[in-house]
Structure formats: C-alpha cells, structure tokens
Amino acid sequence: SQQGEEDPQALSIQEGENATMNCSYKTSINNLQWYRQNSGRGLVHLILIRSNEREKHSGRLRVTLDTSKKSSSLLITASRAADTASYFCAWGYIQGAQKLVFGQGTRLTINP
C-alpha cells in the first residue's frame, strides 16, 4: 500500500496537556503536510514542511521531519477542547504530477 502509518490511532488527553502524533511514510517526498478534520469544519490544512526542513512552528503546533527515517511528528501544546478532531499527515512527491497521499489519521480527544 502507498499509505504509511499514523501512530497512535487514537489519543485521549486532558485539556492543557501536550499531544504528539507520529506519521511514517514509504516513499521519497518533497513535502509533508498535516490536516485536521472535524465535523464542524471538514478537512483543513494546518502546516506544511518541506523535505529540506527539519522543524517548523505555527502557533501551538510544532512539526518535525526526519527524511532519513521517513517519519514526521506533530506536537500540539497546551491542548484545548476545540483541538478534538482527527489529524492526518499527507506526504507529497512527484510521480509524473505532484501527488499527495494521506495517512490513516489519529483521532484526538481532549477531555475538559
């Protein structure tokens, strides 16, 4: 399968704690993206990291990328109830055209 793995499949934490999600992929990439999906807003882009970058920050989000291990992680600091959603990594590569392949997702629940 072209799809990699996301770990854990589900995560439940208390509000205010940090949440870490991991993603592994199988091919050489030129970028990796993280998306959030909830019933209210659908699938929304969070952050993009290029293959020559190792770390990127956006607000309470921190993404790391290790291309030698073909893995990425998303850290959400000081979690809020509104962060409850499914989080998907998606890796981009060129095969003819630019392609984007999504992982299976991590279901994050923030408990008040």
Would you tell me which residues interact with other proteins (CB under 8 A)? 3, 30-31, 33, 42-45, 48, 50, 88, 90, 92, 94, 96-105
- Shortest distance in whole angstroms from residue 37 CB to other proteins: 9
**Tokens standing for 7?**
């770990």
Nearer to other proteins, 63 or 90 (CB): 90
Nearer to other proteins, 15 or 53 (CB): 53
- Shortest distance in whole angstroms from residue 16 CB to other proteins: 28
Residue whose entry in the numeric block shows the structure tokens 């291990």 = 69
Nearer to other proteins, 14 or 52 (CB): 52
Question: Cα 99 to the chain's mean position, in Å?
Answer: 17
Q: Are 101 and 6 in contact (CB under 8 A)?
A: no
**Tokens standing for 28?**
């050489």
**Tokens standing for 47?**
């952050």
